[in-house]
């Protein structure tokens, strides 16, 4: 195995700055890795043919003495929900198959400005609707820990690419857990920033009041470094926050070096500590809590009664906003068009949407349209928004007692393909612990907390108050270091197994 692909983004960036390796070498190593293994994993929908050329240009700028960004030359994968000039952007749907946007999403433009090299576009559930990446119109992504299991969703492609060493770092989007839940089941780190902290301009909208772009990586520091690149105000996004943000990388470095959580109050939300969490995930969570307490952290119980209704409220708000956002795919302006001579506009539109949208997208459009219809708006969408307000208030009260809230990031380890695809309610329950942060707009993070049954990863979720993303990185890096003794060994086994073309989960323990 080429050792360059096993380096973290921070480690690779340091070697690039020192001149020990070139961006072209690092990029080529990852492109070769994709060519060698992605047929098995299906993490990518499109590989950037000009990646090595872009990397060579960065090397030339560095050799000329130009002062570059710390991450200049580091390769990055991009979820296909983000528009990329010169590369297809499909959002995992036949509706946009072959569409090459004429512009970059703001976060993509910021990657380019920092000199990062785009490896390609990663697979996802169609229009980000799903928790398993089984709903992609272009085939599923498989979990590198066990190819018979899902990598989570909707951003399973980004998480799998990072876990399978096909990218050191990636961008994802999180509407109800689509960064954090895949991170949990693939043993990676995923962060949903404060709503408005990262621009949504150029993100193909699912639910505009919930969507947020964030990083996927193998370490907390790497996510912090990428967050520093993509964050900040964007006048092209009406929801973008006009505020100064601290250095998240600096916060992660402080936390990783401290090893001390004295005086920090961690709240376990009673409503997320439920029977819906699998026993092996609960066991790892209790061990993580014990490690936090051993490091001086104070662990308390808090309550958020409205969380009981979070899944129900979310699956009314999201389909309603999706129904509105996806109305733009009408066969008239761009995207797929299915027509026959003599058909009316209405018939062409119906045929196009029937052929272009998959079953889960259709299900949610129908649900959302119904919830917004005359006579039902107040009973469904209006009531769900009231629950959302209650969730925000419950979180405010919880954060008055605790600095950070903790829970499992996913209620189970990765499940097998087909296990939940015919049971929408069971699939929706995969977002049990992550949805509240999206409804409230608060930041959340998933970090690996060890292996559950069958040697499959589990994730610890941290939630912080609005605008306090820095806490996630500071305390997340500390906890990551505390848990690294067990997890570090598991990750080494994974990397070795991947290099030898074996499946890590087959050798895993219950730790």
Average pLDDT of the residues in 236-261: 95
Quote the pTM value.
Answer: 0.95
Catalytic entry in 178, 240, 320, 446: 178
367 vs 316: CA distance, rounded Å: 8
pLDDT of residue 510: 40
pLDDT at 509 over 60: no
The tens digit of pLDDT for each residue in 180-202 reads 999 999 999 999 999 999 999 99
Under the banding of pLDDT at 50, 70 and 90, the label for residue 511 is: very low
Closest CA to 91 of 191, 211, 235, 226: 211
Count of CB atoms within 10 A of residue 373's CB? 12
Torsions phi, psi for 434 (to 5 deg): -100, -25
pLDDT of residue 275: 77
pLDDT of residue 23: 98
Q: Among residues of the chain, what percentage have pLDDT more than 90?
A: 86
DSSP 336-373: -----TT--HHHHHHHHHHHHS-HHHHHHHHHHHHHHS
The tens digit of pLDDT for each residue in 267-276 reads 999 999 877 8
Q: Is domain 3-308+387-500 classified as CATH 1.10.150.120?
A: no
Average pLDDT of the residues in 45-63: 98
70 vs 91: CA distance, rounded Å: 30
Q: How many CA atoms lie within 13 A of 205 on its CB side?
A: 20
The answer to whether 433 and 444 are in contact (CB under 8 A) is no
For residue 441, what are its two tokens? 């707009």
* Alpha-carbon dihedral sign for residues 253, 259, 260, 266: positive
pLDDT of residue 422: 87
Catalytic entry in 89, 93, 131, 154: 154
Residue 79 annotated in active site = yes
pLDDT of residue 490: 65
pLDDT of residue 482: 94
> Taking all residues of the chain, what is their mean pLDDT, rounded to a whole number?
94
pLDDT of residue 508: 42
pLDDT of residue 339: 84
pLDDT at 507 over 50: no
Residues 173, 175, 179, 185: what is their CA dihedral angle, to the nearest 10 degrees?
Answer: -150
Residue 146 per-residue DSSP state: B
The tens digit of pLDDT for each residue in 17-31 reads 999 999 999 999 999
The tens digit of pLDDT for each residue in 198-223 reads 999 999 999 999 999 999 999 999 99
Pairing of strands 444-451, 404-408: unpaired
Catalytic entry in 6, 23, 79, 446: 79
pLDDT of residue 187: 96
Under the banding of pLDDT at 50, 70 and 90, the label for residue 342 is: confident
> What residue segments make up the domains of the chain, in order of their start?
3-308+387-500
pLDDT at 500 over 70: no
> What's the full length of the chain, in residues?
511
430 vs 511: CA distance, rounded Å: 22
Please state whether the peptide bond connecting residue 416 to the residue before it is cis, i.e. omega within 30 degrees of 0. Answer: no
The tens digit of pLDDT for each residue in 131-171 reads 999 999 999 999 999 999 999 999 999 999 999 999 999 99
pLDDT at 488 over 70: no
pLDDT of residue 341: 75
SS3 3: helix
The tens digit of pLDDT for each residue in 351-397 reads 999 999 999 999 999 999 999 998 999 999 999 999 999 999 999 99
Residue 324 annotated in active site = no
Average pLDDT of the residues in 426-445: 95
Under the banding of pLDDT at 50, 70 and 90, the label for residue 503 is: low
184 vs 125: CA distance, rounded Å: 17
Residue 430 annotated in active site = no
The answer to whether 122 and 45 are in contact (CB under 8 A) is yes
CA distances from 294 to 2, 122, 178, 281, 486 (A): 38, 39, 31, 20, 16
pLDDT of residue 334: 80
Q: Among residues of the chain, what percentage have pLDDT more than 70?
A: 95
Partners of 76 in the β-ladder: 118
């Amino acid at each position: 195995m080429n050792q360059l692909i096993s380096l973290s983004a921070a480690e690779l960036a340091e070697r690039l700055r020192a001149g020990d390796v070139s961006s072209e070498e690092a990029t080529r190593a990852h492109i070769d890795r994709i060519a060698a293994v992605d047929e098995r994993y299906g993490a990518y929908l499109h590989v950037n043919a000009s990646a090595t050329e872009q990397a060579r240009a960065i090397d030339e700028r560095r050799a000329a003495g130009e002062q570059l960004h710390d991450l200049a030359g580091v390769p990055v994968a991009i979820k296909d929900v983000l528009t990329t000039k010169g590369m297809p952007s499909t959002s995992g749907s036949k509706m946009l198959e072959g569409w090459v946007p004429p512009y970059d999403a703001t976060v993509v433009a910021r990657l380019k400005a920092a000199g990062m090299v785009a490896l390609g576009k990663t697979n996802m559930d169609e229009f980000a609707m799903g928790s398993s990446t089984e709903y992609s119109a272009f085939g599923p992504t498989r979990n590198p820990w066990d190819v018979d299991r899902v990598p989570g969703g909707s951003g399973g492609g980004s998480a799998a690419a990072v876990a399978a060493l096909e990218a050191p770092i990636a961008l994802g989007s999180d509407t109800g857990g689509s960064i954090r839940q895949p991170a949990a089941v693939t043993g990676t780190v995923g962060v949903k920033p404060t709503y408005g902290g990262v621009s949504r301009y150029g993100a193909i909208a699912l639910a505009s009041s919930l969507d947020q772009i964030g990083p996927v990586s193998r370490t907390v520091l790497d996510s912090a470094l990428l967050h520093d690149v993509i964050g900040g105000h964007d006048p092209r996004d009406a929801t973008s926050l006009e505020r100064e943000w601290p250095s998240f990388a600096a916060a992660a470095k402080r936390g990783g070096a401290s090893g001390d959580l004295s005086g920090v109050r961690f709240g376990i939300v009673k409503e997320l500590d439920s029977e819906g969490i699998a026993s092996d995930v609960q066991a790892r969570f209790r061990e993580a809590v014990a490690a936090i307490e051993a490091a001086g952290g104070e662990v308390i119980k808090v309550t958020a009664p409205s969380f009981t209704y979070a899944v129900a409220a979310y699956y009314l708000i999201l389909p309603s906003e999706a129904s509105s956002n996806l109305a733009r795919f009408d066969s008239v302006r761009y995207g797929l068009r299915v027509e026959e001579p003599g058909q009316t506009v209405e018939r062409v539109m119906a045929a196009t949407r029937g052929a272009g949208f998959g079953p889960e997208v259709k299900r949610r459009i129908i649900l959302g349209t119904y919830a917004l219809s005359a006579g039902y708006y107040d009973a469904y969408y209006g009531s769900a928004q009231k629950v959302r307000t209650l969730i925000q208030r419950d979180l405010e009260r919880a954060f008055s007692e605790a600095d950070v809230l903790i829970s499992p990031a996913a209620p189970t380890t990765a499940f097998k393909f087909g296990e939940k695809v015919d049971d929408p309610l069971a699939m929706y329950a995969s977002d049990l612990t992550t949805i509240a942060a999206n409804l409230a707009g608060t930041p959340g993070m998933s970090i690996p907390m060890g292996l559950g049954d069958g040697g499959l990863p589990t994730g610890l979720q941290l939630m912080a108050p609005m605008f306090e993303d820095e806490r996630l990185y500071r305390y997340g890096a500390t906890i990551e270091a505390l848990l690294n003794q067990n997890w570090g060994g598991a990750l080494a086994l994974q990397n070795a197994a991947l290099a030898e073309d074996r499946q890590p989960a087959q050798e895993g323990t219950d730790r």
